[in-house]
A and B are shown apart, each in its own frame.
Chain A
């Protein structure tokens, strides 16, 4: 019998090594897998490359990981916010590297990695600083920038409900990057508010099919 729900928060992250690339779901705090990140902090992996839309909000989740000085590089679209003080301090101290990616390109590059594409041509960013030095092509009169897929060793995501085969459904706008990151990482770890029996999720409404998910952890709480 296959059961992907036998993991605990601690056991699920214990093989994340120093220097790993880790996708972290969430848009701001919606969909941020706080409990998995707390487990990652306790585990102690260092020199991480983190891929997320932002660079931490307040003092929890990704912000706490950055505050604990475990992050070498952040790949994101919108680091600077009113409550991104931990990232701001680390960035200004030169302790953290930033790769800024337009949000749609971030999603598309993650999607491309999960889809097995070698690269994509995107119109977003053409002619701007963020496309400087990149290959471009004109296709049917429109200009595109060549962007490469964004892979990761691990993805930490948050879903609402999951079953032992790893099928997931999300809650409201906490879905955001979760389904894409699940596809793009070698090992996807999902924390869910509830583990349900096989068959309880409507097969017509499963958002992330279990093939993309390796470990499911019941974390309790709201989504």
Chain B
């Protein structure tokens, strides 16, 4: 079965982000979506630590320790961008002002429950950051992840077994085998990667998936 690599997955999400939208990209692979947003469109990237109009990484030697992203990496500010404090930043999320956020996940349920902050492993130090605010705040929550774990278990599941980040909050997942819509009626297939057939994906997930016509 042919699969997209991580760069192709990030590029695929980028295609579905329209001009003029306010977007938050989560830590990890979602951050890379920024590399594939078309240069001729204006898309507003928000970072939880207080900037809107986030630009790319600075040139070597131009890093500013006071100008970082949510992953604490140095970034730049686009002309027209601005800074604000944490209450404003999280009002942008909770208040429904962000159009799209793209997050990673350990598991997503067919109904859109998200588990991406803890595997519940005993003894692990828990950390949640802004994940729970983003999950329930943005108008659309996209998850970007490989369909399976390294052990081959499906991360799209009937019900999450890991601790939840948010309930019924993910509307779509972008994976290495295809794009899926989630909702009250369960998961449905928006598109499959060339060379992937529906029966294979049904088998991988154990879910009664149907194509959206």
Chain A residues engaging chain B, CB cutoff 8 angstroms: 27-31, 53, 57, 77-81, 87-88, 91-92, 98, 100-108, 110-111, 122-130, 170-180, 207, 222-223
Contacts and interface: CB of A to CB of B under 8 A. Distances in A.
Given A30-B49, A127-B167, A177-B86, A77 B64 contact: no
A125 to B, nearest CB: 5
Contacts of B158: none
Contact of A124 (B94, B124, B126, B164): B94
Given A175-B84, A180-B87, A79 B125 contact: yes
Interface residues of B, number: 40
Nearest to A179: B85
Those 6 A-B pairs whose CB atoms lie nearest each other, nearest first: A104-B90, A104-B133, A107-B86, A102-B132, A80-B127, A28-B72
B147 interface: no
Main secondary structure of the interface of B (DSSP, over half): loop
B66 A80 contact: no
A100 B128 contact: yes
Contacts of A110: 87
Contact of A172 (B83, B86, B164, B165): B83
A108 B88 CA distance: 10
A103 B83 contact: no
Nearest to A28: B72
A89 to B, nearest CB: 11
Contacts of A207: 85
B140 interface: no
A177 B85 contact: yes
